[in-house]
Amino acid sequence: MFLRLLILSLGLFSYGLLRAGDLSFTQDIRPLLSDACFHCHGPDSKAREGKLRLDDRASAIKSGILSNGEMIVRLLSKDPEERMPPPNSKRVLRSQDRAKLVQWLKAGAEWPEDDRHWAFVPPVKPAAPKVEDKKWARGAIDRFILARLEEEGLKPSPEADKHTLLRRVTFDLTGIPPSPEEIDDFLADQSEDAYEKVVDRLLSSPHYGEQVASYWLDAARYADTDGYQNDRIRYMWVWRDWVIRALNDNMPFDRFILEQMAGDLLADRNFMTQVASGYNRNHRINSEGGSIPDEWIVEYVADRVETLGTTFLGLTMNCARCHDHKYDAVSQEDFYSLFAFFNGIDEAGLGPNNGNSPPFIPVPKSWPELKPAENKFVVPAKMQIKVVQTSVPRPQSGGANTVMVMHELPKPRPTYVLDRGLYDRPDKARKLQPAVPEVIGGWKKEWPVNRIGLAKWLTDPAHPLTARVTVNRIWQRLFGLGLVKTSENFGVQGEHPSHPKLLDWLATEFIRGGWDLKATYKMLVTSATYRQSSVGHSDSDPDNRLLSRGPRRRLPAYAIRDSALVSSGLLVPEIGGPSVRPYMPPRIWRSISNNSYKQDKGDKLYRRSLYTYWRRTIPPPTMLTFNAAEREVCIVRKDQTITPLQALTLMNNVTFVESARHLAERVMTQEDLTSEDERITYAFKAILSRPPSSRELALLKEDFLHHEEIFSKNPQAVGQLLKVGEKPNDSKLPSAVLAAYALVASTILNLDEAISLN
Amino acid sequence: MNPMASRRDFLKQGSIGGLALASMLAREPLLGSGAPSSDLHHPPRAKRVIQLFMAGAASHLDMFDFKPELVKRHGEKSDFGEHVEAFQNGLGPWMKSPFDFKRHGACGKLMSEIVEPLGEVVDDISFIHNVVGKSGVHSQATYLQATGFQFPGFPGAGSWVSYGLGSENEDLPSFVVLPDHRGFASNGPKNWGSAFLPTHTQGTTIFPQRANPIEDLHPQADYVTDESHGEGIDLVNRLNRMHQRSRPMDPRLDSRIRSYELAAKLQLSATRALDLSDEPAYVHKMYGLENAGKKYPKNINPEEETEYFGRKCLIARRLIERGVRFVQIWSGNDNSFPRRNWDSHEDMTRDHPSLSLGMARGTAALIKDLKQRGLLEDTIIHWTTEFGRMPSSQKGKGRDHNPFVFTNWFAGGGFKGGRTHGESDQWGYKPLDRKNPTLVYDTYATMLHQLGLDHERLTVRHNSIDRRLTDVHGHVIKEIIS
């Protein structure tokens, strides 16, 4: 006992620095309990030790350990038998966090009655805060940001220069750089609303839909193949084009969800809404002989639940597939109740081993410009299983003129809780009907108990998550980090928002404005916060969580390639259509079951990266080198890395060398460019969206003259360089000069600025 | 600028890839949340791994796991004493191995003639004959052995090792994959993807026979001399530095500049590591490269397979000598025709002997060579495959998939030699002790243990789950380590 007291008092000494009353239960304490204790004392009833629950207010208080000193003793004990978390549990509680818990316990272990996790409490529109600096803020967003900066004694940064701003907003809204002409126009426009005009122009560009779609495709795990073993071909590009069109038409986001969730069930369903329902067919499908069909149907349905969880709820539903969630109050029963919404599809466990797996429907030849008579709901052919190779049950296959959709069986499959998530371990005593997790709640009786109801629930104004999760992802896209940094996880284990009130303001405005994506983008990119210069001026906020400066980000993988194609003039800006096969490493597909990659010719080599054929087992290597999402499962956030392979790609990859060659041709053939300086300046502007400084220009010109001299003596090297890539240069141009400009262009394409947004 | 802050940000932003910097990584707590204060969890016995992966499922019964009962019952109707879910109805009569078995080494291990070259090094090998899988389907089973999970989306074992240990060198990736030159196995590059680990931990594929053994390593043609290429990189970095002066707070620019310096180093080091011309003739011969460049017959043959596999083994040795942490060598591709993998449904005597003799010669040379250089003691060699083959026959001469039992073995890196741990039953159909099989979690727990890593503490949080190479399972197999 004496020993224990001694340790206690020693312990107390070290938290002298912490002030009492600084700790909030939901923000400071529960995350620690969740991390260190919930694993054995949390929602998972099967894993619970000593009948103690620390995730539930009533049972925690009732246990007495919060008030009788037991928990303090357990936290501070050096006895391995007594100490919590147990030293052999491999759960680590840092000493400062341990101190926080003890401080909280000593201060009376205050646990508010309404202890709902913040993300499960529906957002209420907060008033924009008062700020001291009355000039800086342009709107409510800025006032939330500024108020916090002022609290921390920080100041926002001045507005970025016009070049930087135009580059930033053009990439963010269209995924491609501004042209040198667009730069000149913007600089010349001295009117008050010059920037707003640019934003409106970009939002009405068809490239807006492509840009926003590229993120949606990552979340919706869209790809051109099935993803397992032989990774057979499927045809879903019609769905992809539906997404681009819906975004360009600015379809309200609640409708966007409804059509994708339930486009096959709606009263006003038609061919277009049916195509939209293909969203839930983008998961991988297995065709390998010997696989067990029932196991795979479970896999597909679970994938739909997990995708819904990450994309709309910001919850890691997959945790609850095998057991009650360890941290969030999502039970295994909740998981399988959501599962039941998707478990009535007339689908096969094994794919057809090439082509679309039923249900699918034929696409009229006139797509995408359907005649009114063609825009009708089509009943997909019933699934027909034929046993091949003596034992492999395969459904019929849909060819290149079809698209996969959702379609219900006359009677859904029964849904049970699956023990450990295993397809062959249904708990027959626990048969489930479609339902939504109790912890989120908010289901209205008048909604049909099907995917229509599910979509209505997701987009109900009282839903605590969908709007928050959606605006947070938009924020992440524009600012590099979400207000909730863990954009895939709003649960207890996720990160608390940096600006909770701003998040709620944005979410409620999004709903109030009719789920208007373009208006939301406009509001964000015209804010003073977004328009700040990204040059850092203070050490105190290295991650820029407080937004005292503008965002600085690396371009996404697709934009890096597209940018080279645009600046060289190679890009073929056609929207939509079947996926294309640009350059790939030699024999890239031979490796998978004798497949051969038939590289396209001509225009198809220069389409935007969004249209590049995405083979799941062997995705385009250049895209992965720049951290593109793999499109296996739903991805809403990817960490970025800097690697030497990226340097090698930019230096040597055929697309980038060919782009350099054609940018060289562009500057040599443009009539208004007459001197070397002007040509180099144009190339520089085409890639970096700003003119070079005199020092930069001098260095690049020196580089040009150096290469020109070498190439003039070495026509063979010139010939080799000009042969990289399939589109020839104008043969009338002096080839040594062309080659020298090409290497200068390649140098510029390799600059950090070329793949960054400042 | 505060150099510590910059370094911290740098690591947070994403460490320099491919070639993670050993000195930096070793000092950073990269071992999951609540990282230990030292670099490793316990003193290591090994520093690196060479993994040999036989794609298509190599037959334990015809290589390492001799079954006298099958000799006795050869041709009799097979009876497993229970219902068997066979992959392709391969439940024909019992079939003895068509190959002769002989005792080898001081340990007297019975091994078949198609792995005879391994006889010389059998006293350095620990066999595990009771490994069980979870699926008889190639793709899932390959994922399970390569990543510890039978579904896509998990990092390869080499990524975990690179993540846990960092790199030992600055010029080469820490995880290198030498695929079968004819193509990838089931799942292709997904078997060595980094998934949720940092991108620099992913396996870098090297195809030594290609002009660009690493994609885009060199320009497509000789339009720039090495000298002017070097100048090009210098110019890029000079311009990057000028830009950096206007934004001193941005650590990413340092990393970008460094990545170009490392790219230049990689170009040189990879070229050197793959250039075998400085190896003496006896080394070439030892690895079976004496026929290099010869025209081979069209049908599969041991000489050709020996050259292919031997070359990869020799390159693996050169890579680990240069500090690569994890080299994965693949034998066999996926389902091509004519078959060039271990999936012998039709005839055990057609593909297995050539593939196996090639593998055995190269592997034996590798073990001997590492030993004579003093590298075997801290290099783990791990031989694996996605599952085994059935003791019953299929189509008369072939064998169907057997995920219920198969063989793995380890050599070097503190593993005992001349050992056999865990037996299969009299048929080689399931483990003899069905309650205590060895799983992939156990083999990887043991591998990580030898590398100084506790498989339960090498975790990374992804989507709120602390992920491990060994999922939530795994025991260190104490019996086979010294």
Over residues A583-599, the pLDDT tens digits come to 988 777 766 655 788 99
Domain ranges within chain B, ordered by starting residue: 3-480
Output phi, psi for A659, to 5 deg: -60, -40
Q: Is B302 on the interface with A (CB under 8 A)?
A: no
Question: Which site among A317, A532, A583, A592 would you substitute to test the B interface, given the most B Cβ atoms closer than 10 Å to its Cβ?
Answer: A592
Structural domain that includes position A749: 652-757
Distances (CA, A) of A643 to A625, A754, B266: 8, 16, 11
Q: Residue B204 is encoded by which pair of tokens?
A: 């870098």
- Is the pLDDT score of A148 beyond 90? yes
**Domain presence at residue A93:** yes
Q: Could you give the 3-state DSSP secondary structure of residue B439?
A: coil
| Chain A hits for B89, Cβ within 8 Å | 390-391
CB-nearest partner of A642 from B187, B256, B334? B256
Q: Give the pLDDT band (50/70/90) at residue A639.
A: confident
Tens of pLDDT, residues A161-208: 999 999 999 999 999 999 999 999 999 999 999 999 999 999 999 999
Looking at the structure, do residues A101 and A211 belong to the same domain, yes or no? no
Give the model's pLDDT for residue B7: 30
For residues B119 and B448, give the distance between their C-alpha atoms in angstroms, rounded to a whole number: 27
Residue where a domain stops, chosen among A446, A466, A492: A446
Burial readout B102-112 (b: 16 or more C-beta within 10 A, e: otherwise): eebbeeebebb
Tally of CB atoms within 10 A around A716: 11
- Is the pLDDT score of B92 beyond 50? yes
Q: In the predicted model, what is the mean pLDDT of chain A?
A: 92
Tens of pLDDT, residues A345-382: 999 999 998 899 999 999 999 999 999 999 999 999 99
For residues A199 and A216, give the distance between their C-alpha atoms in angstroms, rounded to a whole number: 21
Give the model's pLDDT for residue B307: 94
Give the model's pLDDT for residue A6: 36
Mean pLDDT of A255-270: 98
Question: Which site among B154, B199, B265, B341 would you substitute to test the A interface, given the most A Cβ atoms closer than 10 Å to its Cβ?
Answer: B199
Q: Is B190 on the interface with A (CB under 8 A)?
A: yes
Looking at the structure, do residues A220 and A106 belong to the same domain, yes or no? no
**Domain presence at residue A438:** yes
Q: Give the pLDDT band (50/70/90) at residue A755.
A: very high
Question: Which site among B464, B466, B471, B472 would you substitute to test the A interface, given the most A Cβ atoms closer than 10 Å to its Cβ?
Answer: B464
Give the model's pLDDT for residue A393: 93
Q: Is B271 on the interface with A (CB under 8 A)?
A: no
C-alpha of A352 from chain center: 30
Interface of A with B in 707-726 (CB under 8 A): 707, 710, 717-718, 720-721, 723-724
Tens of pLDDT, residues A641-661: 788 889 999 999 999 999 999
Mean pLDDT of B243-254: 80
For residues A721 and A726, give the distance between their C-alpha atoms in angstroms, rounded to a whole number: 12
Mean pLDDT of B440-444: 98
Distances (CA, A) of A239 to A14, A280, A299, A343, A430: 60, 11, 22, 21, 36
Q: Give the pLDDT band (50/70/90) at residue B335.
A: low
Tally of CB atoms within 10 A around A185: 16
Q: Could you give the 3-state DSSP secondary structure of residue A737?
A: helix
Tens of pLDDT, residues B163-180: 999 878 878 889 999 999
Contact A231, A592 (CB under 8 A): yes
Mean pLDDT of B45-68: 97
Select from B349, B300, B302 the least CA-distant residue to B98.
Answer: B349
| First-residue to last-residue Cα distance in chain A | 61
For residues A661 and A397, give the distance between their C-alpha atoms in angstroms, rounded to a whole number: 44
Give the model's pLDDT for residue A594: 58
Tell me which chain B residue has its CA closest to the CA of residue A320. Answer: B465
> H-helix or E-strand containing A402?
strand A402-404
For residues A713 and A739, give the distance between their C-alpha atoms in angstroms, rounded to a whole number: 12
Under an 8 A CB cutoff, do A327 and B87 touch? no
Q: Give the pLDDT band (50/70/90) at residue A701.
A: very high
Give the model's pLDDT for residue B20: 29
Q: Residue B464 is encoded by which pair of tokens?
A: 């709120």
- Is the pLDDT score of B354 beyond 50? yes
Contact A158, A528 (CB under 8 A): no
Contact B447, B157 (CB under 8 A): yes
Q: Give the pLDDT band (50/70/90) at residue B10.
A: very low
Mean pLDDT of B377-382: 98
| Chain B hits for A699, Cβ within 8 Å | 235, 238-239
What is the ipTM score, two decimals? 0.85
For residues A127 and A112, give the distance between their C-alpha atoms in angstroms, rounded to a whole number: 24
Mean pLDDT check: name the lowest of A77-86, A354-363, A597-606: A77-86
Give the model's pLDDT for residue B26: 29
For residues A289 and B138, give the distance between their C-alpha atoms in angstroms, rounded to a whole number: 10
- Is the pLDDT score of B31 beyond 50? no
Mean pLDDT of A324-339: 89
Mean pLDDT of B350-378: 97
- pTM equals 0.85
CB-nearest partner of A642 from B14, B87, B401? B14
Q: Is A641 on the interface with B (CB under 8 A)?
A: yes
Interface of B with A in 385-444 (CB under 8 A): 401
Interface of A with B in 326-365 (CB under 8 A): 327
Give the model's pLDDT for residue A326: 75
| Chain B hits for A290, Cβ within 8 Å | 87-88, 136-137, 401
Mean pLDDT of A229-238: 91
C-alpha of A462 from chain center: 24
- Is the pLDDT score of B39 beyond 70? no
Contact B124, B419 (CB under 8 A): no
Give the model's pLDDT for residue A625: 86
User: Structural domain tally of chain A?
Assistant: 3
Select from A679, A655, A653 the least CA-distant residue to A666.
Answer: A679
Give the model's pLDDT for residue A590: 67
Under an 8 A CB cutoff, do B463 and A750 touch? no
- Is the pLDDT score of B4 beyond 80? no
Tens of pLDDT, residues B208-233: 888 889 889 988 777 787 788 888 88
- Is the pLDDT score of A8 beyond 50? no
Mean pLDDT of B279-294: 91
Mean pLDDT of A57-82: 90
Give the model's pLDDT for residue B323: 93
Q: Residue B362 is encoded by which pair of tokens?
A: 């190269």
**Domain presence at residue A14:** yes
Tens of pLDDT, residues A115-137: 889 999 999 999 999 999 999 99
Contact B144, B440 (CB under 8 A): yes
Mean pLDDT of B428-455: 97
Q: Which residues is A398 bridged to in the sheet?
A: A356
Tally of CB atoms within 10 A around A264: 27
Q: Residue B35 is encoded by which pair of tokens?
A: 């990282």
For residues A657 and A651, give the distance between their C-alpha atoms in angstroms, rounded to a whole number: 7
Q: Give the pLDDT band (50/70/90) at residue B424.
A: very high
- Is the pLDDT score of B16 beyond 60? no
Q: Which residues is A386 bridged to in the sheet?
A: A394
Give the model's pLDDT for residue B188: 83
- Is the pLDDT score of B32 beyond 60? no
Distances (CA, A) of B32 to A90, B164, B459: 11, 9, 5
For residues B70 and B66, give the distance between their C-alpha atoms in angstroms, rounded to a whole number: 9
Q: Give the pLDDT band (50/70/90) at residue A549.
A: very high
Residue where a domain stops, chosen among A54, A78, A111: A111
Give the model's pLDDT for residue A709: 94
Q: Is A539 on the interface with B (CB under 8 A)?
A: yes
C-alpha of B165 from chain center: 16
Residue where a domain stops, chosen among A111, A141, A164: A111
